Amino acid sequence: MLAALKATKSVVQVTSAVQLIASLLLFVMMLSLVKEGIVVLAPALKYTDNGVLGGLGVGWIVAMLTLNGSAVAATSVALFNADVITVNTGFGMIHGSRLGAGFMVLLLGVLYQLRGANRKDALSTGVQTLLVAQTVHLPAFIIGYLLLARSGVPEIPITRVVIGTSILEFFLNEPLALIETVLPGWTLLPIGFAGLLYSFSLFDKSIKSAVAYQDASLFERLPDWFYYPVTLFLIGLLVTAVTLSVSISLALLTPLIARGIVHHRYALPYIMGAGVSTFIDTYFAASLLQDEAGQGMVLMVAGWVALVSLLVLLFAYPAYERLIERLTDLLLEHDKVMKLYLAGLFLLPLGLIFWRM
């Protein structure tokens, strides 16, 4: 029995490694398709530049509809790189992608509730993810935009991703050339974006499979300092940085809370940390595109989110925790309030888009 379990675990680990490599190859290939598709459609796409608020609305609503903020952020960098949108719109889209990304975590919690989990334990992670984005990213967005309007975006010396500029290019140049020859030019952007969604999904699946056999009782043996807010903040930051996926780092947290393994009150600093390092994959995309201004834009977004998060964590965490807890309780204990909140999640970004049109 033990030998069979070890064999199964080994097969899962090998499969996960193959999926991980395939997802990275697919990401680079699809990002190239998006870039080429934008070049083809650039004349038609020029009117999509709706300023920083319009960009915020577009990134927000598309991230919720696609359940993937990372693909939206990567696409916004590609649009900026191709001069289809201005830095203001790109800045807004990246922030918007983070505001909408938490919707996927909320839907995951709904699935756990349908499977019999306690309502608050199942949905609290998703609700808190959305609330953290709205209370941390929005102030960071306002401060960052004021600085952007005054000083512009800093240009960062290009960070060349060695694997992305040598081995991957060697293997992918020919397939990319074939795809671009066979497919009509106007299809490259939508196919590339769909491919980005699938690459992130495949990446998430590989990480989930790799950790599926971990012992949940580990959390019962952890020392008290592990649950300090600063410690949990750093863990959320590191887990997201290592997995390159905020959806994975939060998706791992949701079942632990839903099953009562980890108390939901410990999720807040973890979510805040994950919200800082979530921009790593977007920076990676800007590096692959060799876009100095794009890298600077991503670092500006990440830097202000990190600063606001640290200020809250170090100087106002008890009050902030009480605020988020009260808002979470309000939403989860009153269905009408929850419905109004969910309606606002969709209506507000749509209002920003149409107001700027």
Instruction: Inform me whether the pLDDT recorded for 311 exceeds 90.
Output: yes
What integer is the mean pLDDT of 133-145? 92
Question: What mean pLDDT comes out for the span 172-191?
Answer: 71
| Tens digits of residue pLDDT in 151-165 | 777 665 655 444 444
The answer to which of 135-144, 147-156, 275-284, 331-340 has the lowest mean pLDDT is 147-156
In the chain, pLDDT over 70 holds for what percent of residues? 67
User: From CA 113, how far away is CA 68, in angstroms rounded?
Assistant: 21
> How confident is the model at residue 155, as a pLDDT?
61
Is the pLDDT confidence value at 172 over 90?
Answer: no
Structure tokens at 137: 């990213």
Q: In this structure, what are the phi and psi dihedrals at residue 116, rounded to the nearest 5 degrees?
A: 105, 0
- Compute the average pLDDT of residues 13-22: 69
More confident residue, 240 or 36: 240
Question: What pLDDT, on the 0 to 100 scale, is given for residue 150?
Answer: 82
* CA 196 – CA 298 distance, rounded (Å): 18
Highest-scoring range by mean pLDDT, 8-22, 34-48, 129-143, 247-261: 129-143
Read off the pTM: 0.74
Cα distance between residue 31 and residue 75, in whole Å: 8
For residue range 83-127, what is the model confidence (pLDDT) as tens digits? 888 888 999 999 999 999 888 888 877 877 776 767 877 788 889
CB environment 305-318: b (16+ within 10 A), e (fewer): bbebbeebbeeebe
> pLDDT tens digits, residue range 206-239?
655 555 545 445 455 556 677 788 888 998 888 8
